[in-house]
Amino acid sequence: MLHGRMLVYLDVVARLGSIRKAGERLNVASSAINRQIIELERQLGTKLFQRLPRKLVLTAAGELMIAHVRQTLKDMDRTRALIEEMKGLHRGEIVLAVMSGPAANIMPQVLADFQVSHANVRVALRVHGRTELLAAVRDGEADLGVGFDLPREAGSTVLVARTAHLGAVMRADHPLARRESLSIADCLAYPLVVADPTTSIRPHLDALCARSGASLVARVESNSVEVLRRLARAGDSITFLTPFDIIEERERGELALVPLRHAGTWPQTLSVIARLNHVNPLVSLMAEKIGAVIERTL
């Protein structure tokens, strides 16, 4: 009903009190402006202006309409300024609070791409556990938080959220690597190296074991995804990770991920969060680049 030109027409006519003067100001035929106002009044079923002998005066409905028009124009100007600032932004700083898994596996690709287009922007990446990450975003110490299974909190907003399922991870030439899917029981014949109870992965793995009735006996437990990856590459061990955890190893053909049956019941969610009223224009840009890398991974 109200396109961009019509918003401007209404604003200028209301300010000048004259369709003729508005036409002169905007370099538009006054008859064209008048036709559009009449058509809008027809659609609304009410008059917006009282047409007095020497000027136009807003009706009560017109006062409501012009308040909406002017707020919309202000919002458009503010949004346009932010877009222009983002397009031309080549300096600044952004602070990222990231859990260890995404910090090691997703963020290197994101930052390599980001530095090509924004070489003079300083990025501070700090590795945190879930609790510390949430506090950093909540307290304004970090502009963005990136992590698994982050609870929703008042005052924060989710910019990106993607789910991924645990899989059995092993060397690409492992005897089980070409299977279409595996159960936890299928993996018990091989040495298991698993995430310890302090990690975001472990509750999902424990739920799978409970569902299948399998008893998880691990040779090695670690809170380091890097340790789990290295052990899986080194021999016939099997670990349990998501596609986000082995991006480069899969691309190089070093590790394979075989889907686990029933893993879809307990997916992990990788989220990018920010404060609800953040003001750093780099936040949306960085979140967009993180989302693009995540999409390529799945």
Last residue of a domain, one of 38, 60, 88: 88
* The pairing of beta strand 193-195 with beta strand 220-222: parallel
pLDDT at 279 over 90: no
Residue type, position 218, single letter: A
Question: Which tens digit of pLDDT belongs to each residue from 165-197?
Answer: 889 999 999 999 999 999 999 999 999 999 999
Average pLDDT in the 161-165 region? 90
Are residues 172 and 259 part of one domain?
A: yes
Residue type, position 180, single letter: E
Question: Which tens digit of pLDDT belongs to each residue from 195-226?
Answer: 999 888 899 898 888 888 888 889 999 999 89
Are residues 131 and 81 part of one domain?
A: no
Last residue of a domain, one of 88, 109, 135: 88
Rounded CA-CA distance 5/191 in Å is 69
Q: CA dihedral defined by 229, 105, 141, 154, rounded to 10 degrees?
A: -90
* Residue-level pLDDT at 20: 92
Last residue of a domain, one of 35, 55, 88: 88
DSSP lists the bridge partners of residue 7 as none
Domains held by the chain: number: 3
Rounded CA-CA distance 98/95 in Å is 10
Are residues 142 and 193 part of one domain?
A: no
Q: Which residue has the higher pLDDT, 280 or 151?
A: 151
Are residues 206 and 79 part of one domain?
A: no
Least confident range from 87-96, 149-158, 227-236: namely 87-96
pLDDT at 1 over 60: no
Say which DSSP state 74 is in. H
| b/e code 168-202 from CB counts within 10 Å (16+ = b) | bbbbeebebbeeeebebebbeebbbbbbeeebbbb
We report the CATH number of the domain holding residue 201 as: 3.40.190.290
Is the entire prediction scored with pTM above 0.85? no
Distances in Å between the Cα of 95 and the Cα atoms of 23, 91, 109, 146, 150 are 49, 14, 17, 11, 18
Are residues 256 and 186 part of one domain?
A: yes
* Residue-level pLDDT at 48: 93
Rounded CA-CA distance 160/170 in Å is 29
Are residues 244 and 173 part of one domain?
A: yes
Q: Evaluate whether 255 touches 177 at the Cβ level (below 8 Å).
A: no
Are residues 13 and 60 part of one domain?
A: yes
pLDDT at 259 over 60: yes
pLDDT at 131 over 90: yes
* The pairing of beta strand 144-148 with beta strand 92-98: parallel
Are residues 52 and 128 part of one domain?
A: no
**Which domain range does residue 131 map to?**
92-160+270-297
Are residues 98 and 68 part of one domain?
A: no
Rounded CA-CA distance 227/232 in Å is 9
Are residues 137 and 57 part of one domain?
A: no
Are residues 101 and 78 part of one domain?
A: no
Are residues 261 and 171 part of one domain?
A: yes
